[in-house]
Chain A
Amino acid sequence: QATGTDQVVGLGLVAVSLIIFTYYTAWVILLPFIDSQHVIHKYFLPRAYAVAIPLAAGLLLLLFVGLFITYVMLKNQKGTKKAQ
């Protein structure tokens, strides 16, 4: 059964993803239709970052996944060698 912390963490993940989604939608989809002198433009980075940040995040994620996998596989190899 999901405990209290499970529920907090899970709903927190949902909330974070919803916040990111709405902010990113506003940034990418809505902002070009708003007048460029409007105050709202102060709350968003320049448009080039809208592509650069996800790309960098994805590359970092792939890097960490790769590092993790190599680490686990190397550890397993050592374990089997010891067992032999």
Chain B
Amino acid sequence: ERGRSGPRGREMEGPTEGEATMTKLAQWLWALALLGSAWAALTLGALDLPSSCREVLWPLPAYLLVSAGCYALATVGYRVATFHDCEDAARELQSQIQEARADLSRRGMRF
């Protein structure tokens, strides 16, 4: 019973938090929509830009995509390189398992 109340409690928190501010997804979508509309306006010729600026402008969405991909790849690589064991967490988990086993066997469950 106690174990179950944890995740459910967090689920209850979720929507209220989302109503108060925007969810992360909505924030990202808004930012992308803003950037995209600015890009579209500039590419369609809202301002008179020199031709070299114009040439930089039109592949910018692809550039954004590529830099996001590079960032993701670099993050994965960095985390792989600096991966380490969590010995304290392992010890804590083991002690919790022992505790749970003792509790359950006290209530008559056999392993």
Binding site for B on A (CB under 8 A): 1-2, 6-7, 9-18, 20-21, 24-25, 28-29, 32-33, 47, 50-51, 54-55, 58
Contact = CB atoms under 8 A, between A and B. Distances in A.
Main secondary structure of the interface of A (DSSP, over half): helix
Nearest to B73: A17
Main secondary structure of the interface of B (DSSP, over half): helix
A54 B73 contact: no
B63 A28 contact: yes
A50 B77 contact: no
Contacts of A21: 66-67, 70
B111 interface: no
A17 B70 contact: yes
Interface residues of B, number: 27
A32 B73 contact: no
Given A9-B77, A13-B77, A47-B55, A54 B66 contact: yes
Contact of B81 (A14, A20, A54): A14
Contact of B56 (A7, A9, A29): A29
B66 A24 contact: yes
Contacts of B81: 2, 6-7, 9-11, 14
